[in-house]
Amino acid sequence: MANTRIEKDSLGQLELPNGVLYGINTARSLENFPLSGRSITTWPDFIHAFATVKQAAARANCEVGSLTTEQADAIVAACEEIKTGEHDGHLVVDILEGSGGTSTNMNVNEVIANIATKASGRPLSDYSLIHPNDHVNLGQSTNDVLPTAMKLAVYRAMGEALRMLRQLADRLSMKREEYKSLLRLGRTCLQDAQPMTFGQAMGGYEAVIRRHTEQLNNLREQCLVVPLGGTAIGTGFGSQPGYKAAVFRHLSAIFGAKVEPSGDTFDGMQNMDTCARLSAELRNTASSLWKIANDLIILSSGPNGGIGEITLPSVQAGSSIMPGKVNPVIPMAVCQVAFAITGNDTAIAMGCQQGMLEINHFEMLVCDRLLDSIRLIAGATGIFTRRCVDGLVANKDVSQKHLLASSALATSLVPALGYQQVSTIVRTSLAENRAFLDVVEEKGLLKIEEAVLILEELVNTDDCIAMTSSLAGDISRLPSSTCLAPIQGRTSNVIRQAKAGSLPEMPQEEGEMLGRNVLVSEAYLRQLQAQSSYHIRCYPGDESHSRDASSQTSRETSLRPSTQGGHENSTPTLTLKHATSEAFVSGLKRLSYYPEGLDQVPNYEYVSLSSDKSCSEVLTSSLQALNVAIQLPPYPYALQLVQQFELYMGYEYHWYLRRDFHSALQATYRCPQSAQSRSHTWLCKLLAVLALEESFDVYGPPPLIDLNPDQGSICNSSSRVLRRGQGKSVDGPSSYLPGAGFFEQSLSLFRMPSEEPHIGQVEALNLISFFCYSLNRRKTAYMYAGTSMRIACTLMLHKPAISETPATTEHQKRVWWTTSLMEAMTSSERGLRSTFGFMQAEQHLPSDELLAPNERDNFWDAQLMAAHLKLCKIRSLILETLGHLHEYENDFDRYEKAVEVPLRELELWKRELPPDISFEFSQGVPQDMLDRPSVRSLASMYLRYHQGYILLIRPVFFKLLGTVLGKDTNTTPSSSSSLDGLSNLSSQCLAAAKCNMRILTTLSSKDLIAKYGFYDSLHLFSGIKIFVLSRLVSTVSASLSIPATAQSMTVSIGAGDDLTQDPEDISLCNAAKELLGVMASCGNRASKGHLQLLEEIERLLDVVSHSFSQEQPPRSQTPGSLFGTDLFPWIDSIDSSGYFLDLDGGVGYP
């Protein structure tokens, strides 16, 4: 066989080594550009992005008919191989090649073509099936592909840099809290200035890092706007009609983020200002890191001959000649990195400004230097956090000595002693070389203790922190919306009124639209306000009927509209005109409307209405335009729903609903003509709560399809609902789905702001969004959540409140964070980015420290909400990590490193929990937790905490299973340390699974589990799944000849947690499976799906166990021949199912 092959081009022909996958264009580039000694594979993100663009182009060309399916599939498969790094040795063009990127593009094209050629059985360079130009590069040009790949690579690389910066800011925040009261001497121009605290210094560092992080994240998002489809100069010449739309659709799907075309393709190809701005901000960030690191070097100088007010961790010896010397090597490294990034920015600025006419020829330089800056900022920030800031210790004694000996205290004592007297003392202390406070005490003016007390009070005052940002500037940066007009020139007083909801609702035009959802018109509002009575009026009556009323235990509480007001028909009705309390309670019994003894006000004296109406038609006011009626249910049913809502739903997404919701509900029925009772926003929120609980508690599961996703009301969809506790379907009116009657009223009452939005509208939208989400209407939920977020931003709820009462401030915090949670959840399930990442906003976490006792009792647990929000941030990190785990499919060591950070964050979260909400579940659910009113919210939080471990570690079991069955012998750990680490991980995963099963089975025994709930079912399924898989791994590994490392690993797992023998654990697993079956029998479709997946896993276990129980397989027999060739796809299908069970075409993250 020949060792070389010949390729030809327009310049002639070249002889190529037969083993290389590149072609003649790449070979010429190697001759022309032996420059940096670094190839384009220096940046894996760049190669990954380039291959992604080629995949999307192949799919788009196939869609428009330019490529056959065979050709497109061959190109896509080749790109997948390139993404793994398998062919990096063939991507050899120098990163600083001078062809404007053509050599890079052709290197990728040629390698893709030859991979596909080789896979088809053809010799290399036989381009009859896939040609580098005619097929791989079809509809493309270097001039649109290269900037697209570069921007996507930058977007991908920036993820790690931003994560490191947020981690640094979080650690600085912890130091700020740790040293918030420790005084030190502030210095300007390295001279003594004024006193301050170490916490204030750390807070300043934290603020600048968060500001840079926000700016970098904004610039990162701009990298998703690319000029792909413009081909050579922006005209799109050379591509087929429909190609551009198709390629962006496929590119977004493959890349995993919404990639958008440039508004002007010519601009996108000529100008590189986005890269220049990003580089400049990276330089600014590096400069701030440089400043912080330099400060730490100065403050740690000494230890005896310098300042020495802080001690940095000792990470290595500092001198080869001076024993014991330790240098601040980490901060010095950060400074050095800042110098390098500054140099990179200079090169990038010159490259960006040298574009000529239709394109920029220096994109390869910009790409190289920009990715280098990103890698440097990520690496430097990471080591700075872990190896410097984490271990930083402030030296109290040294700091106090410097402070008390300094005349910097003089300014602080002017209010107490007067300017003239203090000036005299300063001159005396300097002339006599004595401590300033010694002179003060000697003169009998103040004792040192008194001076220190004055100092602490002045330094720790809140007045030293001021909000200076401009309202108009903040609003101008918000996303535009046709529904919201920017607020300009508004006084602070008006803003406070708007936030508090005290401003009158502004009129809006007839038929105003929210997306495609028609809102209530001004004409209807005038009609509604003219109504003299449209509520049931219920007052506490005497106690004569309380025992009789409480004996009613019927659960059939559904209200049905009646077509014949006041008359008996096939459905009994109750005439309420001049009804007495006895008749009212009796009628409720007869209609089976009364709930299970949960009514706190069981007796009513019913006030007659102006006309005779049936119970189901009370509170009715016709809405002709929408054919909707406003009607509240009888008070007992409303109270039942509200109480069940609190119990089952928790407050993860509704923390702003205070404990006085009950009293407000009662006041609405007692005083229907009051302003509160007639508030459209209040009624909108109340009806949304009633809709939520009715849809979850009274009926079985919600529909599993997103009906009419573009409509705002579900009342036009027919349904058959399954009543709880009954095994048959009941035909309901065509207009009635669970909670739909309340929901359509809530929606009709909601009013979009035209000029003056208020905080109540944010609350109402959150509830409306959650109802849509609960009924699996994810698209509609996302729309409402996004609108809620925009109103919240307009009201500046993401910023700390100024000059507000503690109760108002705390309320605004909770509204903001619940809005952020709701918007982030719905965005992620649509595959989109949220407006704010967790902890990106300036708003503080909830706290009840400043609240009065009566105010504190009115709010739901602030500590629990703060802990839940911190956990949500970690869950975002887990989700990001899961997106990269497939890259380490065959590398246990890299996998272990990848999950190390989120696992450490989970451990830190648990350690930092306040004692009163910190529980352990190794022996069961603590009674203290079960006795708390917030037990469901606590349980929900801990279920998600344990689920984090399961999601991150569960691949261990599937990798082990594949290894012991011979699927891939390269997936075993490479060292004993890796073996120990993975054994420890598997034990953590098993422990987390058992904890979740204990929590859910215990809640079920207390009737506190939501048997309709998707996530309750998911947590049960995942716990049982890990349990069963561990048994499967133990069974297989004990009977097959497997690699030594895998054998010892599975043995160590079994030794650490023998799930095959422990009767208590087996009993726990059986109880969890029984509970999953009960949930499925209640109509929980998710539970049914999870049970089917468990049957698959257990069937696999039975097959394996049965095979080994019959006879020991020969050592030479392969697992494939023992169980069949379809075993491994079977395992893979089980692994990829269940955790993201798709109920409506979206992705569900637990």
| DSSP states of 788-806 | HHHHHHHTTTTS--SS--H
Any idea which of 233-237, 487-491, 1051-1055, 1117-1121 has the lowest mean pLDDT? 487-491
Q: What mean pLDDT is predicted for residues 1054-1074?
A: 68
CA 317 to chain centre: 41
Name the pLDDT band for 193 (thresholds 50, 70, 90). Answer: confident
User: Cα-flanking dihedrals φ and ψ of residue 1074, to 5°?
Assistant: -60, -40
Q: How far apart are CA 494 and CA 488, in angstroms?
A: 12
CB atoms within 10 A of CB 367: 27
**DSSP conformation class of 94:** B
Q: How far apart are CA 1149 and CA 1143, in angstroms?
A: 12
Q: How far apart are CA 763 and CA 374, in angstroms?
A: 40
What's the one-letter identity of residue 831?
G
Q: Please give the pLDDT value at position 149.
A: 95
Residue of 380 and 516 predicted with greater confidence: 380
pLDDT tens digits, 823-855 = 887 876 666 767 766 656 677 878 877 777 777
Residue 775 has pLDDT above 90, yes or no: no
Q: What mean pLDDT is predicted for residues 286-304?
A: 92
Q: How far apart are CA 610 and CA 532, in angstroms?
A: 9
Q: How far apart are CA 617 and CA 128, in angstroms?
A: 76
Residue of 852 and 596 predicted with greater confidence: 852
Q: Please give the pLDDT value at position 648.
A: 62
The string over 876-911, giving b where at least 16 C-beta atoms fall within 10 Å of a residue's C-beta and e elsewhere, is bbbbebbeeeebbeeebeebbebbebbbebbeebee
Q: Please give the pLDDT value at position 622.
A: 29
Any idea which of 43-57, 495-509, 1126-1140 has the lowest mean pLDDT? 495-509
Name the pLDDT band for 565 (thresholds 50, 70, 90). Answer: very low
Q: What mean pLDDT is predicted for residues 749-777?
A: 76
Name the pLDDT band for 519 (thresholds 50, 70, 90). Answer: very low
Q: What mean pLDDT is predicted for residues 1087-1097?
A: 78
For residues 787 and 838, the answer to whether their CB atoms sit within 8 Å is no
pLDDT tens digits, 354-384 = 888 888 888 999 999 999 999 999 999 999 9
Name the pLDDT band for 761 (thresholds 50, 70, 90). Answer: confident
Residue 596 has pLDDT above 50, yes or no: no
Residue 716 has pLDDT above 80, yes or no: no
Q: Please give the pLDDT value at position 696.
A: 63
Q: How far apart are CA 684 and CA 742, in angstroms?
A: 9
For residues 100 and 106, the answer to whether their CB atoms sit within 8 Å is no
Query: How large a percentage of the chain has pLDDT more than 90?
Result: 21
For residues 761 and 750, the answer to whether their CB atoms sit within 8 Å is yes
For residues 884 and 898, the answer to whether their CB atoms sit within 8 Å is yes
Q: What mean pLDDT is predicted for residues 47-75?
A: 93
Q: How far apart are CA 655 and CA 848, in angstroms?
A: 13
Residue 1109 has pLDDT above 70, yes or no: no
Place of tokens 């309380």: 546
Expressed in percent and rounded to 5, the helix, strand and coil fractions of the chain are: 55, 5, 40
What's the one-letter identity of residue 193?
A
746 an active-site residue?
no
Any idea which of 181-190, 594-603, 878-887, 1083-1092 has the lowest mean pLDDT? 594-603
Q: Which of 443-447, 486-490, 733-737, 1120-1124 has maximum average pLDDT?
A: 443-447
Residue 456 has pLDDT above 80, yes or no: no
CA 377 to chain centre: 23
Residues facing 225 on adjacent strands: 260
Q: What mean pLDDT is predicted for residues 887-891?
A: 67
Q: Please give the pLDDT value at position 172.
A: 93
Q: Please give the pLDDT value at position 803.
A: 63
Q: Which position among 314, 319, 492, 975 bears the catalytic label?
A: 319
Q: How far apart are CA 739 and CA 690, in angstroms?
A: 7
Q: How far apart are CA 296 and CA 449, in angstroms?
A: 29
Residue of 322 and 152 predicted with greater confidence: 152
**DSSP conformation class of 1141:** -
Q: What mean pLDDT is predicted for residues 692-700?
A: 59
Superfamily of domain 405-463: Fumarase/aspartase (C-terminal domain) (1.10.40.30)
Q: Please give the pLDDT value at position 838.
A: 60
Q: Please give the pLDDT value at position 49.
A: 94
Report the length, in residues, of the chain. Answer: 1150
Domain with CATH 1.10.40.30 in the chain: 405-463
Q: Please give the pLDDT value at position 839.
A: 56
Q: Which of 477-481, 1056-1060, 1133-1137 has maximum average pLDDT?
A: 1133-1137
Residue 94 has pLDDT above 80, yes or no: yes
Q: Please give the pLDDT value at position 712.
A: 28
Any idea which of 277-286, 294-303, 1123-1132 has the lowest mean pLDDT? 1123-1132
Q: How far apart are CA 311 and CA 1095, in angstroms?
A: 58
For 672, half-sphere exposure in the C-beta direction (CA atoms, 13 angstrom radius) is 19
User: Cα-flanking dihedrals φ and ψ of residue 675, to 5°?
Assistant: -60, -40
Q: Please give the pLDDT value at position 202.
A: 94
Q: Please give the pLDDT value at position 370.
A: 96
Domain with CATH 1.10.275.10 in the chain: 17-138
For residues 724 and 555, the answer to whether their CB atoms sit within 8 Å is yes
Q: Please give the pLDDT value at position 1020.
A: 82
Give the angle 690-694-695 at the CA atoms, nearest 5°: 120
Could you tell me the fold of the domain covering 148-396? Fumarase C; Chain A, domain 2 (1.20.200)
Query: How large a percentage of the chain has pLDDT more than 70?
Result: 65
Residue of 861 and 767 predicted with greater confidence: 767
Residue of 870 and 295 predicted with greater confidence: 295
pLDDT tens digits, 108-122 = 999 999 999 999 999
Q: Which of 18-22, 485-489, 571-575 has maximum average pLDDT?
A: 18-22
Name the pLDDT band for 911 (thresholds 50, 70, 90). Answer: confident
| DSSP states of 279-290 | HHHHHHHHHHHH
Q: How far apart are CA 792 and CA 769, in angstroms?
A: 14
The string over 128-156, giving b where at least 16 C-beta atoms fall within 10 Å of a residue's C-beta and e elsewhere, is ebbbbeebbbbbbbbbbbbbbbbbbbbbb
| DSSP states of 1024-1071 | HHHHHHHHHHHHHHTTS---HHHHHHHHHHHHH--TTT-HHHHHHHHH
State both tokens at 1129: 């796809």
Residue of 1121 and 251 predicted with greater confidence: 251
Residue 560 has pLDDT above 90, yes or no: no
3-class DSSP assignment, residue 6: strand
For residues 563 and 609, the answer to whether their CB atoms sit within 8 Å is no
State both tokens at 1114: 């020969």
Residue 626 has pLDDT above 50, yes or no: no
Q: Which of 35-44, 573-582, 597-606, 964-973 has maximum average pLDDT?
A: 35-44
Candidates 28, 23, 40, 51; CA nearest to 117 is 23
Candidates 146, 149, 132, 147; CA nearest to 26 is 132
Cα separation of the two ends of the chain: 56
Residue 351 has pLDDT above 50, yes or no: yes
Residue of 659 and 782 predicted with greater confidence: 782
CA 786 to chain centre: 15
Give the angle 182-185-187 at the CA atoms, nearest 5°: 140
For 952, half-sphere exposure in the C-beta direction (CA atoms, 13 angstrom radius) is 32
Domain with CATH 1.20.200.10 in the chain: 148-396
Q: Please give the pLDDT value at position 50.
A: 94
Residue 620 has pLDDT above 70, yes or no: no
For residues 1033 and 1050, the answer to whether their CB atoms sit within 8 Å is yes
Residue 1094 has pLDDT above 60, yes or no: yes
Could you tell me the fold of the domain covering 17-138? Fumarase C; Chain B, domain 1 (1.10.275)
Name the pLDDT band for 469 (thresholds 50, 70, 90). Answer: very low
Residue 570 has pLDDT above 50, yes or no: no
Any idea which of 140-149, 160-169, 433-442, 587-596 has the lowest mean pLDDT? 587-596
3-class DSSP assignment, residue 199: helix
What DSSP element (H or E) covers 961?
helix 955-964
Q: What is the pLDDT of the chain when averaged over all its residues?
A: 71
Give the angle 251-90-41 at the CA atoms, nearest 5°: 60
Residues contacting 746, CB < 8 A, separation 6+: 683, 684, 685, 686, 687, 688, 691, 764, 767, 768, 771
